[in-house]
Chain A
Amino acid sequence: MAIKPTLKNLFFDKEFEEKVKFLQNIPIFEGLNKGALGKITGIIYSKKYAADEIIFEEGKVGKALFIVSSGEVAIHKATGENDSKILAKLGPGSFFGEMALLEELPRSATAKTTQETTLFLIYKVKFDWFMERDPRVGLKVIFNLAKVLSARLRETSEFFAKTL
C-alpha cells in the first residue's frame, strides 16, 4: 500500500534523513546509531561559501569543526610572507579544524574554497554542551576524534621519517 510512504513524506523531514545518512559516513561519527546522529544534527549549522572564499585564516583562534557537505576546500600553509603551499584539497565527507573541538588555539593553516561549497559547522561551546547532556554519544565522538588524530600523527611521523 502507498499509504506508508505518503505518511512518511507528510510527517518526516527528507532533508534530515539525508543529513543523517551523510553523517554516517564521516569517520568522527563512526558507530553512532540513527538516534545519536539525529541528536548531532541539532548542534550542526550549515553555511554556503562562494568560490575562493577564505573560511578561516592561519593564526586566528579556531572555535569550530568544519565538514564539507558539497564543493571543495583547499588547505593552505604560509611558506613565506606572500607565498603559501596547498597541503590538501578536501571534498564532500572530509572534515577539518577538528582540533578546535578540543582546545581554542590559533589555526595552523588557512582554509579556502576552490568552488561554491556548503559546510557543516560544529562549534566548541555547542559540542561541550552536548557532551554534558549526552556523555555516551559525546565520548564516542571524542574517541573517534582521537583515532583520527592518532592516524594523522602516524602519517606525519612516517612522512618525517622518510625525509630524514
Chain B
Amino acid sequence: MSNKTYKIIGLILVICAAIWLLFSIRSILMPFVISAVLAYLLSPLLGILETKGLKRIISVLILYSVFLIVFLGSAVLLLPQIFREVSVLSSNIPEYTRNIKGSIYSLQLNIENKYPIIKQKGIIDDSLKNAESFLNEKTAQIPQYLAEAFSMLSLFVLIPFITFFFLLEGRTGIDFVFQKIPSRYTETILSLICEIDEVLGNFFRGQFIESSCVGVLSMIGLLILGVDYAVIIGIIAGLANMIPYLGPFAGTVPALIVGFIKFQNISIMIKIIAMFSIVQFIDNNIIQPIILSHGVNLHPVTVIFSIMAGAQVAGVIGMFLAVPVVCIIKATFLIIVRRKDLI
C-alpha cells in the first residue's frame, strides 16, 4: 500500500473514532451543542463590533449586556404568562379529561343508536378502554415531563457561561488550527471552512430568525382565535419550526388539541389549521426569501431522511442538528471531488 492510502485509512479511522466518542458522550453534549450554535449565531454581531476596532472581550461584554437586557425584558413580559398558563393547564387537566370523556360518550351513544351492531360487538367499548389506559398512562407522566423541563432551567446558567468562552476563544481556536495546517492544504482547508461557514451560517441564522417569526405569528394567531395557552403553544410552534418540513406539523398538534378541548367543535380545528397554513405561507413566501434561508440546497427527501436518522441517533437534538451535519458532509465531499490533491 502506498503512503497516500495509509493517510486515507488513518484519516477515516480518526473520523470514525471521533464520531464514536461523540456518540458515547452524547448525553452531556446538549449544553455544548446549544452554546456552539448560539456562539455561531452571535458571531456576526460580534464581527460588526470588532470591525469598529473594539477588543474582542469588550465586544463580547457589550453583546452580553445587550442580550441580558433583552432577555430580562422578555422574561419580565413572558415568564408570568408562561407560569400562569402552566399552572392553569395542570389544574385544568382533570376537567379536560372529564370533558373529553363526556364528548366521546355522547358520540358513542349516537353511533351505537344508529348502528346497533357496533354495540353488540363492543367495538367502541374495547377501543375506549385501550385509549383510556393509554391516556391515563400519558397524563400521569405530565408532571414528570414538566419537572424535566424545569430541570433544564439549570442549562440557562450553564449555556451563557459556555457560550461566553466559545465567543471569546472561538476565533483563536480556529486560527490555531489554521496555523497548524500544512501550507499546501491551506487553500483547500480554508475553502472547506469558508463553504461550511457559509452553509451553516445560512442555515442556523435563517432557522433562528424564521422560527422566531413563526413563533410570534402563531402566538398572535392563537390569541385572535381565543385558543388557551397561546404563549406556550407559540413558543412550541417556533421551536418545532427549527426542524425543517416536520416541524410545522408538530407545532400545529398541541394547538389543535387545546382548541378542540376548549371549543368542542370541528370549526375551531379548521380555523387553527387555516391560521397555521397562513403562517407557513407568510414564512415560505415573505420571511424565507428575505433571510435567504434556502441556502442549504438539499433535496427535500434528503432533509427528511437526515432528520429521521438524527432522531434515531440523538433524539430531538439529533433532529435539529441533522441538516447542518449533512450540509457539512456534502460540502466536504464536493471539495474532495473538486480537489483531488486534498490528501
Residues of A within 8 A of B (CB): 10-13, 16-17, 20, 35, 38-39, 41-42, 45-49, 53-57, 60-64, 121, 123-126, 129
Contacts and interface: CB of A to CB of B under 8 A. Distances in A.
Given A10-B58, A11-B55, A13-B50, 14 more contacts: A10-B55, A12-B53, A13-B53, A13-B55, A13-B56, A16-B50, A38-B51, A38-B52, A38-B53, A42-B47, A63-B187, A123-B191, A123-B194, A126-B194
A129 B54 contact: no
B198 A129 contact: yes
Contacts of A10: 55, 58
Interface stretch (B111-119, B175-183, B223-231, B282-290): B175-183
A41 B52 CA distance: 10
Contacts of B179: 47-48
22 contacts: A10-B55, A11-B58, A12-B53, A12-B54, A13-B50, A16-B53, A35-B52, A38-B52, A41-B51, A42-B47, A45-B175, A46-B175, A47-B186, A54-B184, A55-B186, A63-B187, A63-B188, A64-B187, A64-B191, A124-B191, A125-B195, A126-B194
A79 to B, nearest CB: 22
A121 B190 contact: yes
Contacts of A35: 51-52
Interface in B176-211: 178-179, 183-184, 186-188, 190-191, 194-195, 198
B187 A17 contact: no
Nearest to B188: A63
Chain A at the B interface: SS class: mixed
A13 B56 CA distance: 8
B17 to A, nearest CB: 28
A11 B54 contact: yes
A16 B53 CA distance: 6
A49 B194 contact: no
Of all A-B residue pairs in the complex, the 5 with the closest CB atoms, nearest first, are A38-B51, A125-B194, A13-B55, A63-B191, A12-B53
A48 B179 CA distance: 7
Contacts of B51: 35, 38-39, 41-42
The residue in A47, A53, A56 that gathers the most chain B C-beta atoms within 10 A of its C-beta is: A47
A123 B198 CA distance: 12
The residue in B54, B178, B186, B195 that gathers the most chain A C-beta atoms within 10 A of its C-beta is: B186
A124 B55 CA distance: 27
B341 interface: yes
Contact of A62 (B47, B178, B187): B187
B50 A54 contact: no
B273 to A, nearest CB: 37
B4 interface: no
Given A61-B339, A121-B190, A53 B53 contact: no
A35 B54 CA distance: 12
Contacts of B58: 10-11
